[in-house]
Amino acid sequence: MTTVGMIGAGRWGGNWIRTLAQLPGTQLRWVCDVSPASLDKIRHQFPQVQTTTRLEDLLEDPTLDGIVIATIAPTHFDVARRGLQAGKHVMVEKPMTLTTKDAVELTDLAQRLHRVLMVGHLLEYHPIIRHIRKMVESGELGDVHYLYQQRLNLGTIRADENAWWSLAPHDISVANRIFGEAPISVQCRGQNIVNASIADVVFATLEYPGGRLAHVHVSWLDPNKSRKLVVIGSRKMVIFDDTAATKLVVLDKGFEKSGDLITLRQGETTTPTWDHGEPLALEAQHFVDCIRTGARPISDGEAGTLVVSVLEYGQRSLEQGGAVVAIPAFNAALRKSA
């Protein structure tokens, strides 16, 4: 039995708690939150789980294997570092930290202490994203020319972070995974509408080696609920629309070039099947499996660091009114084999 504790019992933490409480071979032993009111609710729903406002109660429990952190982003670094230092395996929600420097420090610490460090890049565990990754890796799509993503809705409007930091980590993690490496530059334009200092909508362009582009459009002030990824490959194109009845469509579309002659290919459209499963349950299971086996998580500290670096340099671009900002190469090359 793997024992875990949850830190942060807010909106998203509540989903984690429900998931961990039902996970086979796992015991949710503690829930910690600085808000006693949040803990009252948890005690009522899960009377078998111990609750506390003191992080130390979890860190000093020698029977606790791992912690899951779903507190607000500015606390991630400190809570995760304390967890690792106490010998716990750590799963920290996105964004992993607020600076690349802190993300590198956590990654190094986990490596030194031989602890699992995983980041909550939920889409990496989505069965459809995994299916698309396999299509890329098997060559079915050909060379990926470019991709674009939308993450739009009306709400949740946050006061402690902008739409870029709140929503884009998912899209950046997917783009990095599909291209198999990290971008070399980022350009972000945004608009602050609800609050004078917080971007509600951001249009970002990430440039990957070879001039390949990923465009990311995030907003919490939009009439559409949209969760969309479109990948343009040299052999096939893919549309993943998480809000549509048919979520995954593969199109044999493209162009053929013969000398100066260009003809468009309008081949068949297919709707493949994929392994079903709830992304959060798969993500939670992966964390527990990594604790048990010592395997490196798919969304490990290195992948989290690369995402934070894009967020950090994208924020600079936002503040410079949309300048193209180069992202320094970090020694963490994204592993293609995960």
Ligand X SMILES: NC(=O)c1ccc[n+]([C@@H]2O[C@H](COP(=O)([O-])OP(=O)(O)OC[C@H]3O[C@@H](n4cnc5c(N)ncnc54)[C@H](O)[C@@H]3O)[C@@H](O)[C@H]2O)c1
Is residue 39 involved in binding ligand X (CB under 6 A)? no
Return the number of other C-beta atoms located less than 10 Å from residue 40's C-beta.
12
Count the Cβ atoms, other than its own, within 10 Å of residue 212: 19
146 forms bridges with which residues in the sheet? Answer: 213, 232
Sole binder of ligand X in the list 5, 13, 301, 314 (CB under 6 A): 13
Please count the other Cβ atoms lying within 10 Å of the Cβ belonging to residue 211: 9
Candidate list 6, 28, 32, 80; residue touching ligand X; CB under 6 A: 32
Q: Site for ligand X (CB under 6 A): how many residues?
A: 24
Question: Is there binding between residue 73 and ligand X (CB under 6 A)?
Answer: yes
297 is an interface residue for ligand X by CB under 6 A: no
**Residue in the shown chain whose Cβ atom is closest to ligand X:** 10
Pick 248 or 280: Cβ nearer ligand X: 280
Q: Which stretch binds ligand X (CB under 6 A): 67-75, 196-204, 224-232, 287-295?
A: 67-75
Alpha helices in the chain (DSSP H): 11-22, 36-45, 55-59, 76-85, 100-113, 127-137, 163-179, 279-293, 301-319
Q: Which of 4, 5, 6, 7 binds ligand X (CB under 6 A)?
A: 7
Output 65 or 171, the one with its CB closest to ligand X: 171
Shortest distance, position 50 Cβ to ligand X, whole Å: 14
In the complex, minimum distance from the CB of residue 198 to ligand X, in angstroms, rounded to a whole number: 14
Q: Exposed (0-12), middle (13-18) or buried (19+): which is 66, by Cβ within 10 Å?
A: buried
3-state secondary structure of 323: coil
Considering only 68-76, 181-189, 204-212, 303-311, which stretch makes contact with ligand X by CB under 6 A?
Answer: 68-76
Q: Which of 165, 171, 183, 144 is nearest to 334 (CA)?
A: 183
Interacting span for ligand X (CB under 6 A) from 2-10, 106-114, 188-196, 201-209: 2-10
Q: How far apart are CB 12 and ligand X at their closest, in Å?
A: 3
Among 9, 17, 109, 288, binds ligand X (CB under 6 A): 9
Torsion-angle region of 204 (φ positive above 0: left; ψ -120 to 50: alpha; else: beta):
beta
Query: Using the rule CB under 6 A, is 303 a contact of ligand X?
Result: no
Q: What angle do CA 90, 92, 98 make, to 5 degrees?
A: 130
Chain positions 164 to 223 lying near ligand X, rule: CB under 6 A, are 166
Q: Which residue has the tokens 């020698």?
A: 62
CA distances from 151 to 191, 208, 218, 276, 321 (A): 16, 21, 5, 22, 21
Site for ligand X in 102-161 (CB under 6 A): 120, 122
Q: Does 282 bind ligand X (CB under 6 A)?
A: no
Q: Which parts of 158-278 fold into alpha helices (H)?
A: 163-179
Rounded least distance, CB 157 to ligand X, Å: 12
Q: What is the DSSP letter of 328?
A: P
Q: Which of 75, 99, 185, 192 binds ligand X (CB under 6 A)?
A: 75
Q: Does position 12 bind ligand X by CB under 6 A?
A: yes
Contacting residue, 4, 6, 8, 88, with ligand X by CB under 6 A: 8
Distance, in Å, from the CA atom of 55 to the CA atom of 41, rounded to the nearest integer, reads 18
**With CB under 6 A as the contact rule, which of the stretches 28-36, 254-262, 285-293, 307-315 interacts with ligand X?**
28-36
Which residues of the shown chain bind ligand X in the complex (CB under 6 A)? 7-13, 32-35, 38, 55, 70-73, 75, 79, 93-94, 120, 122, 166
